Structure formats: C-alpha cells, structure tokens
Structure 1
C-alpha cells in the first residue's frame, strides 16, 4: 500500500548523498596528488557519515502532506535547555563525535576553533535545512537550538579524542597515514 503522504525514501537519497560526497572527496585527493588507499578510506568514512547524518536529520520529507488549515509556522525550539531530554543531548554528542575526528584528518592545521566552528556550521546547516524542508514539503524534524549546541560539543569531544591518539607513540604514525596533509608538530590551540 503506498504511503498516503508521499514520504521520500531515505535509503536511495542517502546513497546518492554518500556517493556524491565520496566522489567529491576522491576528486579532491586526485586533484591535489594525495590519493592513497588510507586517504580514500577516510573519504569513504566521510561519505558514509554524511549519508547517515543526512538520512537521520533531514529525512523524512513528505511530498504530499495533508493540507494545513492554518498558515505555516516553522517548527523551532529556540530556548536553550528547555524541554530537552538528556538522552537527546547524549545522542547528539555521540553522533557528532566522529566529525570531530574526521575534521583533523581532512584539514591542514586542525585546531579547537576549526573543529568546533566546522561542527557548528554543519549543525546549523542541518537545522536550516530542517526548517526549509518543513516549510516546503513537510519535514519530520524540529529545528532545535539544543541540537545545535550539543552537536558542537560532540565535535569538540571527537577532537579531544583525536589529540591524545594522534600524539601516542605508535598510534601517531598510524594516524599520519590517514591524514590528508602531512603535519609538523601541530599546536592544538584556538
């Protein structure tokens, strides 16, 4: 029986997002003369991560939502820490922790500021897409300032994990194979 609200299927859309992310990353590696199998593994991890984040934060989208009797008002939660579950905060931190690990693998000179600002920018983009998809199609998510805040914390947690691992003898050399840019001793300041 077809869905009466015309829900956009998550898997095909997520696959397209993942493939596009992977191809773009591979092109960047090839163009910069940095293609290696470990670098392409990071590109694949980034692509899977991007597809998963997109599928879980933007979808579902309903193409044939029921008619609204009142004018559309965006689904927004703008009061920090109000009516927000602890498990939601923990989930957002966990979901953005891998991004805090991927960013320093992809960037030339990672820093706290770069990682946190990038995680915040990705989170803000997601929240804005949620507003747009809700207004245009009928999305299934609420844009929430708390998600934005805890996602940025998740990016910071990932970077806090990356720093000691990248400085641990033995592991630092392994991490170096996966880093897209060779490093000299990196300072981890803002």
Structure 2
C-alpha cells in the first residue's frame, strides 16, 4: 500500500505547550518558588525555545509507505567523518544551540562550561538519534551528521560564553539575577 501522511507541527507541539502552560499556571497559583515574575518568564522562554528546536529538527513529521518510502539503506544516511563535508551550512546548527548555552546555566545555576558542553552534546546526540529513528521507522529522509553534533555543541559553548560576557555588565547581571536569582554563581 502506498501512502504519505503528514503530522503537522501544531498537532504535537501545540498540546505540549498547552500542557506546559497549565503546569506553569498551577505552580504560579500555588506560589511555587521560581514560578512567578522573571523566573517564570525564563521558564516560558525556555519552553518556547525547546518547542522551536523540536519544530526545526523533527517537524513536520512525514510518514511514508510503499513506493513513497525512502529506499536507501538507513546506514547510508549517516555522515560519521567529522568536518569532511564542513561548510557554511553548519552555521544554522551553531545558532540553533546558542540559546541553550545561555539558558541552561540560568535554569541550573551550578552548570558550568563542562556541564553546558556535555548537555549540548547529549541533547544534540539525542536529536540525531531521533532523526535516524524517524528515517528508519517513518522513511522520512532525515540524515544524521556528526558535523551537526559538533556545530550544536559549539553553539551551546558560544551561548555560555555570551552569558559570561553578559555577566560582566552590571546592568545585565542585575537583569539575569532577577530572572535566575542564583545565576550569580555562573560568572
């Protein structure tokens, strides 16, 4: 049987964001620590960022069957040699993870450079593995590239660097400490 079906981004990420909003509202009403004012805004920003990353990396989700299914072997979709095909197309991956490196230490104040690098690499690896599983299970044509892993990790590190530079400004440090009261441990 030949078919192709699209699961739109809004069908998955819409309910996920509504679920987050309901949890945030409940915690806000219960006056839970970190769920009011600037810290709540930081959490909402992070949720929107995570949804944007998921939207870019996984959606729209196409499911192919029969003659529409990609017939190439799954292992042919893996680019395992670092920097062999490196070019300017790596830049969007760097930019994609830059906010992660900025937001993570604000959400988890004891996360330093090493923790940010590890989190960026693990999240990027998870994205690549899920894209490979989409290819295998759904036949949707996604490829896995070690350069994406490198670029995403670099983006996370650059975001951490931007946060460190922002902490040098008294005005920015005050804003960041208001959003994440224990963020002062980052700088």
TM class, shorter-length? 0.7 to 0.9
The structure that is helix-richer by fraction is 2
TM-score (norm 1): 0.83
Count of residues in Structure 1 that have an aligned counterpart in Structure 2: 182
The structure that is strand-richer by fraction is 2
Correspondence for 1:10: 9
Q: Evaluate the alpha carbon distance shift between residue 138 and residue 60 of structure 1 in structure 2; reply closer, same or farther with a 3 A threshold.
A: farther
Range with bigger deviation, 46-55 or 149-158:
46-55
C-alpha deviation, 1:98, in angstroms: 0.7
C-alpha deviation, 1:114, in angstroms: 1.0
Long gaps (5+) in structure 2: none
The whole-number CA distance in structure 1 between the counterparts of 2:183 and 2:63 is: 47
C-alpha deviation, 1:23, in angstroms: 5.3
Kindly indicate whether the alpha-carbon contact (under 8 Å) linking 1:17 and 1:50 is maintained by their aligned counterparts in 2.
no
Moved beyond 4 Å, runs of 4+: 20-32, 68-72
Kindly indicate whether the alpha-carbon contact (under 8 Å) linking 2:100 and 2:156 is maintained by their aligned counterparts in 1.
yes
TM-score (norm 2): 0.84
Range with bigger deviation, 118-127 or 131-140:
131-140
Write the deviation string for residues 58-111 of structure 1: whole angstroms up to 9, x where unpaired: 12332233345968424211111122331x211111111111111011003121
Q: Evaluate the alpha carbon distance shift between residue 8 and residue 69 of structure 1 in structure 2; reply closer, same or farther with a 3 A threshold.
A: closer
Matches within 5 A, 1:30-179: 33-67=33-67, 72-74=73-75, 75-86=77-88, 88-179=89-180
Please give the root-mean-square deviation of Cα atoms over the aligned residues, in Å.
2.6
Long gaps (5+) in structure 1: none
Range with bigger deviation, 7-16 or 139-148:
7-16
Q: Evaluate the alpha carbon distance shift between residue 70 and residue 170 of structure 1 in structure 2; reply closer, same or farther with a 3 A threshold.
A: closer
